[in-house]
Structure 1
Amino acid sequence: MVQNERPRRQYRQVADQIQALVAARKLGPGQRLPSERELAEMLSVSRPSLREALIALDVEGHVEIRMGSGIYVGSTAGPRAEGDTPRPDAEGPLELLRARCVIESAIAEEAAAHATPRSVARLDDNLREMAACLDDTAQAIRLDGAFHIEVASATGNAVLAKLTAETFHKRMSPYFAQFSAYFENPRTWRLALEEHGTVRDAIAAADPPAARDAMRHHLTEAGRRFIDGVLAERAEESAAT
């Protein structure tokens, strides 16, 4: 018989391992899990994969990441809000960012080779709007997406613009929004705005290699900020001081 099931994403597999560990140790709601470092060693997984899995479990109510304390078994059994639980094969934020890094770096390179003054002017308008709303996450997210779509539109290829819009739209679900809440704030938006400006300058200078590298740097840094923004490690460090 043909199997139509798609494999579970890596972060979901790690989440399953964490839940299996909780069950094996018979840990109940409110009981503390091993430290992040210990979990990574016990499960033989990377810290980024572990952190992504922990956030998924936190969103779903299976664990609770407490600032200044650590990681605890959750007191709820199920998602915290309607629509929070993704399909088992749903891509995670880091996987999405890695895909965007590959695709949008090439798009930025193409944009630098074909952008018109009007295209650059639209990017400038976007940067000004975003600079004025760094304290408004909802607006910043909207303008962040608009910037990336404008870069793709600068290629003159409607398919690339549509692909960029569709890929960005994946981060707008309630589940992804909860992930974002861990690391998006005025400081990170300010950094993103500066990185957008570097991409804009390379496109305006008609420098394809620089535009490609600037976009790759931007999306790589976005992934790093996501990982660094997870509270588990910082909570453990705070508790130790």
Structure 2
Amino acid sequence: MRIVSQEYGADERLPSERQLAQDLGVARNTVREALDQLELRGMIRRRAGSGSFVTYDANGASESVAPVAAETGPLQLQVVRGILEPEMVRLAIVSMPPRQIEALGQTLSQMEAVQTDAGAFVRLEEEFHRQIAAGTGNPLLIACYNLVIDARRQSFRAAMYRRHLTPNRIAAYQRGYNALFNAIAARDIEEATEFMKLSLIEDQKLLMQED
């Protein structure tokens, strides 16, 4: 990838979608989808009327994130999620354009296809939340939530999901995420924020079972 190889450095403006499409020999909608994914991963930020700018720093990317995630305990993670996630979904509902909501629906469809694979479900769940973070259009919030996702990948949580994410629980989560998506698509802030709060309570119950 040109960003990772530092062909485009941190804070550098990317070429236009049209230019990238010509350079890569692909359609503009393909470029747009790729930029959406880079934005979801916090590697670029978009400025209305100005273009896309690189936020990925190859020199600092491997040094700054992992230690913070490794030092974050389960309860500390829950506190940060409780502060961040309800406000994150509220801002996303206000800001998300239709194409981002459509992409969120595609991720939901993939989640709903999972029946027994806890690892696959967790990865899609992370992507779903990452897309909500990207929907806020706030680069700092996106970066903060990337840290949350890294912290959620710690071994204690992975082991917890292997034990507790049964097919029945996956099905229950799928119903919940379907309701969350419908609330986001309907721009229903109250319903969506309530889901986030209830989801945190469910995770807290799982943590308490681990004690």
Q: TM-score if structure 2 supplies the norm length?
A: 0.60
Q: CA deviation at 1:124?
A: 0.8
Q: Does residue 176 of structure 1 match 2:176?
A: no
Residues 56-105 of structure 1, C-alpha deviations (whole Å, 9 max, x = no match)? xxxxxxxxxxxxxxxxxxxxxxxxxxxxxx99x94332431332122111
Q: Does residue 131 of structure 1 match 2:112?
A: yes
Conserved in 2, the CA contact under 8 Å of 1:150 and 1:161? Answer: no
Q: Distance in 2 between matches of 1:134 and 1:146?
A: 17
Aligned-partner SS, 2:196 = helix
Conserved in 2, the CA contact under 8 Å of 1:152 and 1:164? Answer: yes
Task: Give 2:187's aligned residue.
Answer: 206
Conserved in 2, the CA contact under 8 Å of 1:202 and 1:211? Answer: yes
Letter in 1 for 2:190: P
Match of 1:115 among 74, 96, 103: 96
Task: Give 1:162's aligned residue.
Answer: 143
Aligned-partner SS, 1:146 = helix
Letter in 2 for 1:205: A
Q: TM-score if structure 1 supplies the norm length?
A: 0.53
Task: Give 1:224's aligned residue.
Answer: 205
- Report how many residues are paired: 144
Q: CA deviation at 1:134?
A: 3.1
Matches for 1:24-103 after TM superposition, within 5 Å: 90-103=71-84
Letter in 1 for 2:130: I
Q: Distance in 2 between matches of 1:216 and 1:111?
A: 16
Q: Distance in 1 between matches of 2:79 and 2:173?
A: 16
Residues 207-237 of structure 1, C-alpha deviations (whole Å, 9 max, x = no match)? 2222222211222222224435x4x8xxxxx
Letter in 2 for 1:185: T
Task: Give 1:150's aligned residue.
Answer: 131
Task: Give 2:174's aligned residue.
Answer: 193
Letter in 2 for 1:187: N
Residues 150-179 of structure 1, C-alpha deviations (whole Å, 9 max, x = no match)? 111111223222221221111223343223
Aligned-partner SS, 1:156 = coil
What percentage of residue pairs aligned between the two structures are identical?
25
Q: Which has the higher helix share?
A: 2
Q: CA deviation at 1:117?
A: 1.1
Q: Distance in 2 between matches of 1:101 and 1:195?
A: 18
CA RMSD after TM alignment: 2.4
Alignment gaps of 5+ in structure 1: 1-85, 233-241
Aligned-partner SS, 2:83 = helix
Conserved in 2, the CA contact under 8 Å of 1:152 and 1:161? Answer: yes
Aligned-partner SS, 2:163 = coil
Letter in 1 for 2:168: R
Conserved in 2, the CA contact under 8 Å of 1:105 and 1:216? Answer: yes
Alignment gaps of 5+ in structure 2: 1-66
Q: Distance in 1 between matches of 2:160 and 2:100?
A: 32
Letter in 2 for 1:167: V
Distance 1:226 1:173, change over 3 A: closer
